[in-house]
Structure 1
Amino acid sequence: MSGSEAEAGAVRAFWERLGLPGLVDVHTHFMPERVLDKVWAYFDAVGPLTGMEWPIMYRAEEARRVGVLRGFGVRAFTSMLYPHKAGMAEWLNGWSADFASRTPECLHTATLHPEDGVERYVRQAVEAGARVFKAHIQVGAYDPNDARLDPAWGLLAEAGIPVVVHCGSGPAPGKYTGPEPIGRLLARHPRLSLIVAHMGMPEYTDFLDLAERYGEVRLDTTMAFTDFSERFSPFPVSERGRLAELADRVLFGTDFPNIPYPYLHQLEALERLELGDDWLRAVCYENGARLFAVTP
């Protein structure tokens, strides 16, 4: 388990140099212990979706993990959680509501799955104060255009609640991953606020296209640009100019605690894009703070 005082000091020095009050991390994972244990066991076993060694850098009990983020100066973070089958989402939403109630920095997170009752429990989560949803098309192995989800997407679009969606085909393609299903979804719900996880890795260009076409599409930096990801899914150098042009639609995300490198490396990977301090300020704090009304 990392998270030493020296590491915290280095992370804080990064955002202090930029004149920021801290960081907003839109892609961190907190979930019931028995679920997280299974996620970690999957990574430990070199799961088929990853096919590579993936040591969990921040493996610790929940309170310690929260403490690490606080030590880093993360002013707001999420509890990204997701069902891999029907019948889990509503239970996960109950857990995440409780976690948010006892963790002031956590943006109340909820999830969904194509199943009977999804509109009901999504509405309940919204009414209970959910501020962000997580949809994992790869792990859930579902079509985002499943008719059962349509009322829920409409409800979230109307409420203006962002959905962090893992829809890219990295680290391995799924039946419903890639830009085409998301493009069809946005054609029906153009006001749906989607945050494309991992910058849409590896279909970076296609998801940048969607962000340019739809004003409520954003992308998070989770694991993108790092040495780890650049080995198997490099971001095209030719697309860096588009990152600069979309400066107000890129959000900082890390995948904490399930990352195989120090938290600081995600920040360093953004800095070495050489897009300037204004871009870093927008990505690391300002965009997320504006979207989720985070105050200094």
Structure 2
Amino acid sequence: MITETFRTADAKLTVFLNGPNWDGIPAATFGNFSCKSSEAGAEILQKGMEKVRSAGIDRIIGPMSGDTWHSYRFVSDSDGSDPFMMEPTNKPHEPDVFRAAGFAEISRYFSARVALQAATASAPPETDGYVLEAWDGSDPEALFRQVFALSTRAFSNNAFYKPISEADFMAMYLPIVPMLKRELILFARRHDGTLAGFLFGIPNYAEGPNPTSAILKTYASLEPGAGRHLAHKFHKTAFGMGFENAIHALIHDDNTSADRSAAEGATIFRRYTLLGQKLNG
């Protein structure tokens, strides 16, 4: 990844020159951004924009640390509750610094919270196309190799998608293995053993060692309906483990899972935005 980090006494920014495509055109991304004041932020954004122009690139996406596998998105609206584990955070003034520099919203997301007792009330229609099973807790490297392989297929058509190597993916996720609960890592398997979908859930350890919330972090499916079955299984399992709430984390506004979250009675408590700028547009 081609990067350069700019730092001043009151701000920092990393420029990633080989970001994802935006509407089919290569873009740079601005990540790892922080500033103590709007003036300091504006100054360092200008340095980053000069770097992008000098590289012959005219599109910038931010905040994004190179790709959507890593940290991206600003918090744009919140109920004031504490951040959950693995959630992006920023100072309230930082999105406005980007906007003042010419960036505009290009994508929206949200996180929602639902009481698990309510979420388990309605089950999806039965299916015999696949079988749901939890991770058995063994061989975490094999677990994440399966997750990586299915993720690259399921997410490849998403906006701003950019592939990464299996080694980079493993380096991101293997360090959190000690925090995983095997019951919250779920697979939908076809009868021939191939994967139809997966769900990655994790306790919200940002609440402390005994959290009351479980995070539905990511799920993906290659078969219609598999995601809904996995989500129901996750809610039911988490409730049985003593969790009180589920967090539906970081959902794109236009995703099918946004409709499912609303249908299950989840309430949005945080919104996020991804910004972009066409330097010659």
Shared fold by TM > 0.5?
Answer: no
Q: Which has the higher contact order (CA 8 A, sep 6+)?
A: 2
Q: Considering only CA atoms, is the larger Rg found in Structure 1 or Structure 2?
A: 2
Q: Could you tell me the TM-score, scaled by structure 2's length?
A: 0.31
Q: Could you tell me the TM-score, scaled by structure 1's length?
A: 0.30
Q: Identify the structure with the greater strand proportion.
A: 2
